């Protein structure tokens, strides 16, 4: 194959530990269909979802990842870069546009996606910050605005406030006019304050129910606390949104999510589980918030493409500060 038809990409051919199953390789540049855009990737962000796909966990998610081997040969879920080629029916972007979007196989020098999976990047938002927006931004926006229904004046508790999703959730809840309490460990309290939280709780020193406070909305992104503990600090007509969990390889904590969903119809509190859905309208909202400076991605770790597996190991550990980005 001619060298100009190839690119570097992070190949994913089996499920397992990221440093064992992800490797840099030279592969063919993807071809595009009529409604697709070829993007020269400048940065991609990684999150827990990339770790789950690499490892193939939880097993219940295998139908979407691939049953025995990964469905997608290249890793990666989101990107920012420059449009290099467009299909015949593409109208929303043109060659040379700087764009941000989501799509499989983004941990590579080029990615091909339908034009409905990207939008033009504001000039003053860098590639690294832009790449951090889609996946964690969708989860934060949909948890806070849609499932949580956060409104001005609401008291909102965010567990996991310092991570990829949490760092966006704090800023979005503040932008909606909420009074935000962020839960983090000691080393991340400063970050949660900088993101705009009105109050912080250090989970290594105190319980979330130690303040005698009751919240209108709880966004539970990390920590896997028992439902009854969360319900104790939720107002009787409040809303709990479960975003993340952890646990064994079969379900990774989905048991708690299922219990919450089954219990919800029988109690006044609304107990909801988030399944975030990528979509163009929300991408445009996130971009607009970033352009206005209302939402600032906190990129605290950056890795070059050959070290993508290390980046995915880092986010897999669940101790990230803000977002982790891979530069291409």
Ligand X SMILES: NC(=O)c1ccc[n+]([C@@H]2O[C@H](COP(=O)([O-])OP(=O)(O)OC[C@H]3O[C@@H](n4cnc5c(N)ncnc54)[C@H](OP(=O)(O)O)[C@@H]3O)[C@@H](O)[C@H]2O)c1
Q: Provide the binding-site residues for ligand X, judged by CB under 6 A.
A: 47-48, 136, 139, 159-160, 162-166, 183-185, 188, 203, 221-223, 243-244, 274-276, 315, 318-320
Cα–Cα–Cα angle for 53, 54, 59, rounded to 5 degrees: 55
The minimum distance between CB 84 and ligand X, in angstroms, equals 29
The minimum distance between CB 26 and ligand X, in angstroms, equals 30
The beta-strand segments (E) located in 13-139 are 22-28, 36-46, 78-86, 98-102, 110-114, 118-120
The minimum distance between CB 58 and ligand X, in angstroms, equals 10
Cβ closest to ligand X, residue 181 vs residue 276: 276
The minimum distance between CB 52 and ligand X, in angstroms, equals 6
Nearest to ligand X by Cβ — which residue? 163
The minimum distance between CB 7 and ligand X, in angstroms, equals 27
Residue 199, φ and ψ in degrees, nearest 5: -140, 150
Cβ closest to ligand X, residue 8 vs residue 259: 259
Integer CA distances (angstroms), 188 to 23, 105, 162, 181, in order = 32, 31, 6, 13
The minimum distance between CB 254 and ligand X, in angstroms, equals 10
Cβ closest to ligand X, residue 112 vs residue 242: 242
Partners of 78 in the β-ladder: 102
Cβ closest to ligand X, residue 47 vs residue 108: 47
Relative orientation angle of helices 164-175 and 280-291, to the nearest 10 degrees: 70
Q: How many residues does the chain have?
A: 328
Measured CA to CA, the distance from residue 130 to residue 286 in angstroms comes to 9
Measured CA to CA, the distance from residue 323 to residue 56 in angstroms comes to 22
Cβ closest to ligand X, residue 53 vs residue 305: 53
Q: Write out the two tokens for 36.
A: 């697709």
Cβ closest to ligand X, residue 98 vs residue 203: 203
The minimum distance between CB 299 and ligand X, in angstroms, equals 12
- In sign, the C-alpha dihedral spanning 96, 77, 217, 186 is negative
Measured CA to CA, the distance from residue 326 to residue 311 in angstroms comes to 7
Integer CA distances (angstroms), 76 to 50, 54, 72, 103, 276, in order = 7, 10, 9, 8, 17
The minimum distance between CB 271 and ligand X, in angstroms, equals 14
Residue 240: closest CA among 250, 259, 133, 252: 259
Residue 217: closest CA among 131, 136, 147: 147
Cβ closest to ligand X, residue 29 vs residue 299: 299
Cβ closest to ligand X, residue 112 vs residue 169: 169
């Amino acid at each position: 194959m001619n060298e100009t038809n190839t690119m570097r990409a992070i190949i994913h051919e089996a499920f397992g530990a990221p440093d064992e199953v992800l490797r840099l390789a030279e592969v063919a540049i993807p071809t595009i269909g009529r409604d697709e855009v070829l993007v020269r990737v400048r940065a991609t962000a990684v999150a827990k979802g990339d770790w789950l796909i690499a490892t193939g966990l939880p097993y219940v998610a295998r139908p979407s990842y691939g049953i025995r081997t990964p469905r997608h040969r290249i890793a990666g879920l989101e990107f920012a870069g420059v449009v290099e080629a467009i299909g015949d029916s593409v109208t929303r972007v043109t060659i040379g546009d700087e764009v941000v979007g989501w799509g499989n196989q983004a941990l590579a020098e080029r990615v091909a996606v339908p034009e409905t999976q990207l939008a033009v990047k504001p000039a003053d938002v860098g590639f690294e910050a832009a790449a951090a927006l889609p996946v964690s931004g969708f989860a934060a926006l949909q948890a806070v605005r849609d499932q949580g229904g956060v409104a001005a004046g609401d008291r909102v508790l965010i567990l996991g406030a310092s991570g990829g999703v949490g760092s966006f959730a704090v800023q979005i809840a503040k932008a909606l006019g909420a009074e935000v309490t962020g839960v983090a460990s000691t080393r991340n309290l400063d970050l949660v304050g900088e993101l705009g939280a009105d109050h912080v709780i250090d989970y290594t020193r105190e319980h979330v129910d130690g303040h005698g406070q009751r919240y209108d909305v709880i966004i539970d992104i990390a920590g896997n606390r028992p439902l009854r503990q969360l319900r104790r600090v939720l107002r009787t007509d409040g809303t709990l949104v479960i975003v993340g969990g952890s646990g064994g390889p079969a379900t990774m904590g989905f048991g708690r999510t299922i219990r919450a969903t089954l219990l919800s119809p029988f109690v006044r509190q609304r107990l909801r589980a988030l399944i975030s859905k990528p979509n163009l309208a929300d991408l445009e909202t996130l971009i607009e918030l970033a352009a206005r400076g209302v939402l600032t991605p906190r990129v605290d770790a950056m890795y070059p493409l050959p070290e993508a597996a290390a980046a995915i190991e880092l986010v897999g550990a669940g101790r990230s500060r803000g977002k982790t980005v891979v530069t291409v």
